[in-house]
Structure 1
Amino acid sequence: MKLPVYLGLLDRSEATLAESFRQVSEGHGHEPDVHFLCETLAKQCEDHRSALAPVVSRYGEADDQEEPERLHADGLSETRSGPVGLLRDLQDLYLLASLVDITWTMVKQAAQGLRDEELLAVVERCDGETAIQLKWLQTRMKQAAPQALIVAE
């Protein structure tokens, strides 16, 4: 069974996304909505990891040696500055959140195949919240794009 590979990917991806949300929150503190919402979304990612923990305890979690090459994502090491920097940082968050979202989908498929109601309940809650994270990021990028891409500095 390779479910532990994806449970490990999901756990690490949620941790990376939480760290990255915090990085953007700190780096763009002058944008109050970004600062506070990114802090909230980071906490949500940590809650996802907590909800997943009992399932990981039951099925296990593959370490990096068992993970196929390139089946991971790097978080933000630093934030960029200015309007274009904010746009790029939000775009990086969107890419990370997309990885988390599709990984929840793969885990859901396995949960359905296993008829694991506990895992399905975790996936339903957490995947739904990840979809909302993606929607907020998309909306915030749409809001930031005209200022960042058209208005001269």
Structure 2
Amino acid sequence: MKLPVYLGLLHSSEGVLAESFRQVAEGHGDEPDVYYLCHTLARQCDEHQKALAPAIDRYGEVTEDDEPERLHAQGLSETRSGPVGLLRDLQDLYLIASLVDVTWTVVKQAGQGLRDTGLLDIVASCDGQTTTQLKWLQTRIKQAAPQALIAAE
């Protein structure tokens, strides 16, 4: 069974996403919506990691050191400055959140195959929030793009 690989990917990716949201919040603190919402979304990711504990206890978890090549998320090491920097940082968050989202989908499919209602309950409680995170990121990217690409000097 390879479910532990994806549980490990999901667990670590949620952590990477949380830290990346915090990085962007601190790096773009002059944007109040970004600052507060990114901190809120980071806390959601922390809760998702905690929610995975029963599934990890049941099936195990393959960590980054043991997982297949290239099957992990890279976080933001630093934020960029200015309007274009904000736009790029939001795009990076979107990419990481997309990895998390599709990994929830894969884990849900495994839960359905196993008929594991406990795992499906975990997915149901977390996956919708990840979808909302992606929608907010997409909306904020749309908002930032004209200013960053047309109005900024």
What TM-score range do you get, normalising by the shorter chain? over 0.9
Quote how far apart the aligned CAs of 1:152 are.
3.6
User: Quick one: distance in 2 between partners of 1:152 and 1:139?
Assistant: 19
Kindly provide the CA deviation profile for residues 117-143 of structure 1, in whole angstroms up to 9, marking residues without a partner as x. Answer: 010011011110000000000000000
User: Quick one: distance in 1 between partners of 2:97 and 2:111?
Assistant: 21
Match of 1:103 in 2: 103
Alignment identity in percent? Answer: 75
- After superposition, residues 100-139 of structure 1 pair within 5 angstroms as 100-139=100-139
Counterpart check, 1:33 vs 2:33: yes
User: Quick one: distance in 2 between partners of 1:152 and 1:47?
Assistant: 37
Kindly provide the CA deviation profile for residues 92-141 of structure 1, in whole angstroms up to 9, marking residues without a partner as x. Answer: 00000000000000000000000000100110111100000000000000
User: Quick one: distance in 2 between partners of 1:36 and 1:65?
Assistant: 33
User: Quick one: distance in 1 between partners of 2:41 and 2:145?
Assistant: 21
Match of 2:52 in 1: 52
How high is the TM-score relative to the length of structure 1?
0.98
Match of 1:42 in 2: 42
Counterpart check, 1:11 vs 2:11: yes
Match of 1:76 in 2: 76
Superposed CA RMSD: 0.7
Decide whether the 8 Å contact of 2:83 with 2:152 is kept in 1: no
Instruction: Flag the 1:152–1:18 CA change in 2: closer, same or farther, 3 A.
Output: closer
Kindly provide the CA deviation profile for residues 38-89 of structure 1, in whole angstroms up to 9, marking residues without a partner as x. Answer: 0000000000011111110111001234311100111000000000000000
Decide whether the 8 Å contact of 2:64 with 2:72 is kept in 1: no
Deviates more, 1:50-59 or 1:85-94: 50-59
Aligned residues: 153
Runs of 4+ in 1 over 6 A off after TM superposition: none
Match of 1:87 in 2: 87
How high is the TM-score relative to the length of structure 2?
0.98
